[in-house]
Structure 1
Amino acid sequence: MPAQATRRRFIEIMPLAGVALFAACSPKNESPPPAPANTPPAPPTAALAAASEPAAATTGSLPMLDEKEASALALGYVEDAARADKVKFPNFVAGSGCSNCGNYLGQSGDPAGGCKIFPGKRVNAKGWCTAWLKKA
């Protein structure tokens, strides 16, 4: 008889355990309290001022992309388009390079510049990768 009572008790408390588990795993709504309506707006910070500068002006401080980085290897990036593996990458077009790519963020004549494909890094203007697309 004790086995039936244990089984019955288990069946009775199982839905409660499920509810408790669901409550414990659900995300908490911890939003900050609303700001008072009469508070004046905060003055712009240096970070906001820096974000408003043109992207080309700040790309000079970015580190250069290394050909050995995982993202560079995955896209076949080389610092000199003349070294691009034309057998491995048959989509290579003679004369293509980072400086004439639509993803290149550097200015014309810059030795290196930012790239939409490799955010936070600069690429060599003479470089190439499989994401190359003709600049419009």
Structure 2
Amino acid sequence: MTLYVNRSSAGKDRSVGRGVTPATDDPFSRKQLENVLKNSRRRAVLRRLLTEPDGEQIAVRTLVADVADAEHDATAVTTLLERRQRVHVSLSRTHLPLLESRGFISYDRERGLVSPGRELLAVEDLLEKS
């Protein structure tokens, strides 16, 4: 006799709906935060947003310039334009969407603007240590 587990209900949090918030609303674990902060470009974006007064929006092109200038290597053969293009591609395709998915930023792709997300302050202490 074979028993089949109903996979749709397996592993569900039965406390959801009883006044307890689901796991998706739980604070990030330290390991999850450290994974996000492993990349220097993501750290640079988050630091830059934390320095903005009153959580103002920053243009993606401004973030690209800041990150590319911080990564400047005098021995590198790439031009400023090439370096900024590489940074722009990695930010817009990888890092900004990841940070947005974790709630650290709000990323308006249409207008090319980034603003602080609801979880940004959760990483402030870790950024100071890294």
Q: TM-score under structure 2 normalisation?
A: 0.28
| Structure with max Cα Rg | 1
Question: Hey, which of these two has a bigger chunk of helix by percent?
Answer: 2
